[in-house]
Structures are given as structure tokens and as C-alpha cells.
Amino acid sequence: METRELTVVAGSFVVFQVLFSVASPLLSTAITPGYGRLPSTKLTEWNSRLVSTVHALIVGLFCLFILRFDDAVNADPVWGDPNLVKLNVAITCGYLIYDLVLLACNWSTMGDSFFVCHHLAALYAYGYVLTRGVLPYFANFRLISELSTPFVNQRWFFEALKYPRSHRLVVLNGMLMSLVFFLVRIAVMPSYWASVFATFGTQDFERLGLGAQVAWITSCIALDILNTVWMYKIARGCYKVMTGRGGRKSKEGTEAESISDKKHFNNHTD
């Protein structure tokens, strides 16, 4: 890994830590008085989710920029010039490390072995991009999924502030969350896998080596299976709210809530 990438990873970690410890409490207190009335465990999660939203917006929008304007990466998805992609991935790696530290420091209330494994696997996979500069198009394409994160976080913010589920802002956010989640995690699957299959058997694919091939393909399959399951739950919950069958005490009406209730659902990167 080059010095520039290491610097970005370290800088990203520090910036997100400052956002969590300093910027989020100050900003949240100024925006809503409800923040100060939350219990300490929810304050921690609130700050974490605000940082998650900032990361998602930065990385997601940067991802769209690269997909639209980085001709070198689009022309050669396996070995194209990875400079901009490395920057985007380095920001995400810094965030993942920050999130792992946050998990470790708050393990009794936020600890989850699944997400530790996920973050470590993501760091391993993105390590190939940072150290070897391979698969820039595919690594960047997966990050488009982060654009659904702000809506999932906003759903949690409304819940923490005790907005009724029938409130128009809650309903609107839920509909947008369902739509954006579908667009950036489900609808993109055919295009993504078409590009993947187009590389099979090529000389560029063989040059990757078995380690990179396995890390790339298996992680993508696992994540897309999870995305499909989550999409089903979100769509079902959205349908029940729209049809008036999503009462607060209804078990079925809260199926989609189980997703946003898990702190790190929205924090992972595909």
C-alpha cells in the first residue's frame, strides 16, 4: 500500500472519530432538543448513525462520480487506473476501522460478531484494491449501495425521537428508503453480474490469482443474498404501512424494523 493510501485511511479514521466524539453531539444538540433526552446508549448509537450517514454520502456520491467520469476504470474494470477508486476505498477502510474500534469500546451494548466478521472481510477484500490496484470498477460499483444508508439511519432517528409511524415524514422516508434500497442494491445486480461474467476466462481475470478471485466472487454472492433478504423484509414492512396494517404493536408490521434496529445494518459496505 502506498503512502498516499495509508494517509487517507488514517485521516479518514481520525475525521470520523472526531465527527462521532465532537461534531455529532454539538450539531445534534443544536438541531433537536430530543437528542439530549436520549439515554446514553442511544446517544452513542445516534452519533454513530450520524457518522454513518456522512460516510455514506461522501462515498456514495464519489462512487457515482467515478462511474460517470472515470473512463480508464470503465474501459478496463479489472486493471484500469485505480487512483480515484483507491481514494474512495481508503475512505471506506478508515471508516470500517473506526467502526471496529467503536464496536470494541461499546461491546456490551453494540457488540455483534457478525459485523466484526463482515468488517474484517471487507477490509481484506478492499486490501487487494489498495495494495495491488485490481478490480477498481467492481470495488467502486459495490459502494453505490451506501446511498441507501441515510434513509435507513433516518428511520432510526425518527424512532428514537418517538415520531408516530403514521407521521407523513416517517411514511415518506420509509417509501424513499424502499425505493433507493431497491435501486442501489437490487436493480443493479443484473448489470453488475453481467460485467463480472464478461471477465471470466479472460487473461485479465487469470492474472488476478486465486486469492483475489475468491475474495471478489464469494463476498459479492454473500452480500447480494443478504441484500435480497433485506429487500424482501423492507418491501413487506412498507406494504403493511401503506395499507394501514403496520400498527405499532403489530409483530408483522415491525418486520422491516428489525433491519434498522440492528445498528450496523446501514454501516456495512458492499
Q: Look at residue 36 in the predicted model and tell me its pLDDT.
A: 92
Q: Look at residue 260 in the predicted model and tell me its pLDDT.
A: 47
In a domain, 87, yes or no: yes
Residue 118 predicted with pLDDT over 70: yes
Q: What pLDDT, in 10s, does the model give residues 69-115?
A: 998 898 899 998 889 999 999 999 999 999 999 999 998 888 778 78
In a domain, 209, yes or no: yes
Here the cell at position 203 is 487473461
Q: Look at residue 237 in the predicted model and tell me its pLDDT.
A: 80
In a domain, 213, yes or no: yes
CA proximity to 227, closest of 219, 237, 238: 219
For residue 182, give its domain range: 3-261
In a domain, 207, yes or no: yes
Count of domains for the chain: 1
In a domain, 269, yes or no: no
Question: 6 vs 246, which has greater pLDDT?
Answer: 6
**Whether 25 contacts 106, CB under 8 Å:** no
**What is the rounded CA–CA span in Å between residue 146 and residue 95?**
13
Residue 252 predicted with pLDDT over 60: no
In a domain, 206, yes or no: yes
In a domain, 85, yes or no: yes
Give the DSSP letter string of 200-228: TTSHHHHHH-HHHHHHHHHHHHHHHHHHH
Residue 145 predicted with pLDDT over 50: yes
Q: Rounded to the nearest 10 degrees, what angle do helices 168-181 and 149-160 cross at?
A: 150
Q: Determine which of 16-20, 183-187, 258-262 has the lowest per-residue pLDDT on average.
A: 258-262
Categorize the per-residue pLDDT at 1 as very low, low, confident or very high, splitting at 50, 70 and 90. low
Percentage of the chain exceeding pLDDT 90:
58
In a domain, 267, yes or no: no
Categorize the per-residue pLDDT at 255 as very low, low, confident or very high, splitting at 50, 70 and 90. very low
Residue 219 predicted with pLDDT over 90: no
